[in-house]
Amino acid sequence: MNARSISYLSVKFMALVFVLSGSTAAHASVVIDNTRIVYPQHAKEVTVRLESKNQAPVLIQAWLDKGDEHSTPDLTGIPFIATPPIFRMEPGKQQVMRLAYTGEALPSAQESLFWFNVLEVPAQSQGPEHSNQLQLAFRSRIKLFFRPPNLPYGADAAPGKLQWRRELTEQGQVLEVYNPTPYYVTFEQVQLLEAQHGPTHQASTSGTANMVMPGGRSRFELPNLKSPPGSAATVEFQTLDDFGVTVSHRAKVST
């Protein structure tokens, strides 16, 4: 599952309305060069590069939130500053954004999760024929992992420490994963393998189940599994590393 979350917002929803000259963009074309951001606590700042694929100038507004998909830039209480928060991007140009931690206390024994938002406001066409045209903004959201120092091992070791077990619920068979590590683990794919029967069961990773938080548990539905797997069942899963690269793993499943 892609780490980037996309949503459409009406420009009227924002605190400011931006009017630019030029034609209306048919779709969003500002690209973030990352699928996730890792912010080491000791870093003074981290940078994120944006590139505009648009044919006309656009206005960009950037902010961070704690996980609310309906967040707006005027919300407070986020310990990061995005600079510049509002800027104009010309066609084909790039913009380097700087994210700085403002020093508020955050957990020191595990990662903290925030979301970086980029709202692209398309140019508004001029003239009376466009006076009733609805302008839409396009928002991209990617995860920001705030990583304290002196964690006991690296993030790449976290997937191998996950603990898997099968459970029977009122909704049917599920896989439950427990994360004993101080890192968030994001899943791209989860499959249950049965050595004695052969079929592979795809686990649902919809909604929030595509990620398990430090010390947390997540459940993966097994809609195609009609009978309990045997003792030799294993789980094959793919996770995303710090660079958004897919890494494959295999682990035993307990009952």
| Range in 4-13, 51-60, 181-190, 206-215 with the lowest mean pLDDT | 4-13
Give the model's pLDDT for residue 230: 58
What pLDDT digit, counting tens, does each position of 38-49 carry?
Answer: 999 999 999 999
The domain tally of the chain equals: 2
What residue numbers bound the domain in which 114 lies? 5-147
Choosing from 98, 124, 147, the residue where a domain stops is 147
% of residues, the chain, pLDDT over 90: 55
Looking at the structure, tell me whether residues 83 and 170 fall in a common domain: no
57-77 confidence digits (pLDDT tens) = 899 999 999 998 888 888 778
Q: How many CA atoms lie within 13 Å of 84's alpha carbon, on the beta-carbon side?
A: 9
Statement: residue 199 has pLDDT above 70: no
Token representation of residue 247:
């890494």
The verdict on 176 and 119 lying in the same domain is no
Domain containing 104 — which CATH number? 2.60.40.10
Least confident piece of the model among 41-50, 188-197, 199-208: 199-208
On the question of pLDDT at 143 being above 90, the answer is yes
Alpha-carbon distance 80 to 78, whole Å?
6
Asked which of 147, 180, 212 is the last residue of a domain, the reply is 147
Q: What is the pLDDT of residue 136?
A: 66
Whether residue 126 sits in one domain with residue 161:
no
Instruction: Give CA–CA dist 223/142, Å, rounded.
Output: 29
Residue 54 has a pLDDT of 84
pLDDT band at 4; cut points 50, 70, 90: low
Q: Are residues 133 and 197 in the same domain?
A: no
Are 170 and 137 contained in the same domain? no
Shared domain check, 189 and 65: no
The per-residue pLDDT of the chain, averaged, comes to: 82
Q: What does pTM read for this prediction?
A: 0.82
Please check whether residues 166 and 210 belong to one and the same domain: yes
Q: Please check whether residues 139 and 168 belong to one and the same domain.
A: no
Tens digit of each residue's pLDDT (9 = 90 or more) over 205-229:
544 558 999 999 998 887 666 555 5
Q: Are residues 131 and 172 in the same domain?
A: no
pLDDT for residue 13: 37
- pLDDT of 204 strictly over 60: no
Choosing from 103, 119, 147, the residue where a domain stops is: 147
Q: What one-character-per-residue DSSP string does the chain give?
A: --S-EEEEEEGGGSSS----SSPPPSS--EEES-SEEEEETT-S-EEEEEEE--SS-EEEEEEEESS-TT--TT----SEEEESSEEEE-TT-EEEEEEEE------SSS-EEEEEEEEEEPPPPPSGGGTTPPPEEEEEEEEEEEE-S--SS-GGGSGGG-EEEEEEETTEEEEEEE--SSS-EEEEEEEEE-TTT--EEEPP--GGGGEE-TT-EEEEE-TT--S---TT-EEEEEEE-TTS-EEEEEEEEE-
Q: What pLDDT score was predicted for residue 168?
A: 78
Do residues 14 and 139 both lie within one domain?
A: yes
79 and 202 belong to one structural domain: no
Q: Is 246 exposed, middle or buried (0-12, 13-18, 19+ CB in 10 A)?
A: exposed
Beta bridge partner(s), residue 80: 101
